[in-house]
Amino acid sequence: MTPTPLAPLLAKRIDKEGPLSVGAYMAEALGHPEFGYYMTRDPLGAEGDFTTAPEISQLFGEMIGGFLLASWAAMAAPRPVTLAEFGPGRGTLMADMLRVAKLRPDFLEAAEAVLLETSPVLRSRQRETLSSPPLPLRWIEDAAALPSGPLLLIANEFFDCLPIRQFVRAGTGPLFRERLVTTGEMPGQLAYCLSEETYSPPPGAAAHGPPEEIVETCAPAHALIEVLIPRLTAAPGLVLIIDYGAGRRGSGDTFQAVKNHQFHHPLALPGEADLTAHVNFAALADTARRGGLGVYGPISQSRFLTALGLPARADQLAGANPAAKAAIAQQVERLVGQDQMGTLFQVLCLTSPGSPVPPGMA
């Protein structure tokens, strides 16, 4: 296999600095300014590498838009309010949410939309999709740049892209070695190795377990929650996280690469394939609780969207357009089907202390 343009640069860095953590490799493969995956392409849709829920059906964005409007009303409709999205993709979800928001002109008068996006390619696509927004809209590159005050934040398939580290149990006892990325036998080839240094059990890991058990950690995810805690403590708001991963604690290798809707070895195509790992929702919930936030979920995407009224809205759309009935049914199945996104994807909602139970999360 011909090395990707980024591969020799990574090999050069490894030769100079030594093996990289999986997280450092992931950060370079996704975010290298010249050859990083997200810096150089629009990865979404049938012609891309993967498809997200907003691209499957308008139903998803409509449900989330209704959820946010109801949540705003439950906060006593604060003014001003920030409507934020982390990792907005093509801008489809924000566009669908804003279409629903037109049902509440008072919300549009009170709100500013803020999109966190580092990819110049995706920012361009978002500007096209959101070329005539019904409210002020701007972009940021760091969560710390979020304005203070009331906040409604959605992060759909965002946390799965944050860099992870992997630790491999040495024997059956409490010592672990870190899985690292080094150079392979062929030029431009990368391979795994283990650190010589040993570590005590990572957060969430048991003192004893099976040999070569893999435990993953994601410090950037927890750092992001830590940034949001003071904002949600100082003013009313919520954060809605939707992503794939287990609702319970667990271990195992979830690091994966996807290109052209097919799985590949995570080290095979640096800069040319999407890299993700399952989100540890239980660990994120722990961080939020320690910060005093309200924590609801995680629950399955199927349960959440169904509670928000997705089946009834689908019936309404099908009734208005009988020719699209079969297509709409297929979209619903992809979003809430038990062998589709319905169970693989989980929903976690973090709220300001003392807030009511969010819609759909009871």
- Report which DSSP code applies to 50: B
Residues 133 and 47 in one domain: yes
Residues 117 and 239 in one domain: yes
In three-state secondary structure terms, 178 is strand
Residue 222 domain flag: no
d(C-alpha 361, C-alpha 304), whole Å: 7
Judged against a pLDDT cut of 70, whether residue 45 lies above it is answered with no
Residue whose token pair is 């964005």: 61
Residues 21 and 135 in one domain: no
Instruction: Give tens-digit pLDDT for 49-90.
Output: 778 999 999 999 999 999 999 999 999 999 999 999 999 999
CA distances from 330 to 56, 181, 246 (A): 10, 41, 25
d(C-alpha 139, C-alpha 126), whole Å: 10
Residues 318 and 336 in one domain: yes
Q: Check if the beta carbon of residue 360 is closer than 8 Å to that of residue 304.
A: yes
d(C-alpha 68, C-alpha 188), whole Å: 47
Residues 43 and 150 in one domain: yes
Residue 362 domain flag: no
Residues 57 and 127 in one domain: yes
How high is the pLDDT of residue 339? 87
Judged against a pLDDT cut of 70, whether residue 200 lies above it is answered with yes
Which residues are within 8 A (CB) of 321 and not within 5 positions of it... i.e. 6 or more apart? 328
CA distances from 353 to 112, 223, 293, 296, 347 (A): 23, 19, 5, 12, 19
How many domains is the chain partitioned into structurally? 2
Residues 118 and 240 in one domain: yes
Residue 252 domain flag: no
Residues 20 and 52 in one domain: no
| CA of residue 340 relative to chain centroid, distance | 17
Residue 87 domain flag: yes
Instruction: Give tens-digit pLDDT for 313-327.
Output: 999 999 999 999 999
Residue 228 domain flag: no
Residue 360 domain flag: no
Instruction: Give tens-digit pLDDT for 264-298.
Output: 999 999 999 999 999 999 999 999 999 999 999 99
How high is the pLDDT of residue 44? 77
Residue 223 domain flag: no
Residue 137 domain flag: yes
Residues 288 and 146 in one domain: yes
Residues 181 and 115 in one domain: no
pTM equals: 0.96
Residues 108 and 153 in one domain: yes
Banded pLDDT at 248 (limits 50, 70, 90): low
Phi-psi region of 42 (alpha: psi -120 to 50; beta: other; left: phi over 0): beta
| pLDDT (mean) for 217-233 | 98
Q: What is the CATH number of the domain that holds 143?
A: 3.40.50.150
Which residues are within 8 A (CB) of 271 and not within 5 positions of it... i.e. 6 or more apart? 4, 5, 6, 7, 29, 32, 35, 36, 37, 40
Q: Check if the beta carbon of residue 220 is closer than 8 Å to that of residue 162.
A: yes
- Can you give the residue range of the structural domain that contains 303? 36-159+235-245+280-354
Judged against a pLDDT cut of 70, whether residue 13 lies above it is answered with yes
Residues 137 and 241 in one domain: yes
